[in-house]
Structure 1
Amino acid sequence: MDVYEPYLLQLGFLERTGRGRVATRLAYEHLGLTYP
């Protein structure tokens, strides 16, 4: 994940939170999934 994380953050697919990393709405839309 160390290699992919900066790229996914740059694209807006991941966010850093106090609880760790979470997928963004944009990531869910890109994968064709419903955002919870």
Structure 2
Amino acid sequence: MHMAELNVLLFRDANKNMPKRVTFLLFERVSNMASFWVT
């Protein structure tokens, strides 16, 4: 999945007023990027 698509998903969740969901997606995104750079 491209970064642009991830940003769209994050904005969609934000528009749905789901802060917990947004926080989870941000955390998942950061951990995925971290694992990408580590490997």
What TM-score, normalized to structure 1? 0.30
| TM-score normalised by the chain length of structure 2 | 0.29
Q: Indicate the structure with greater helix content.
A: 2
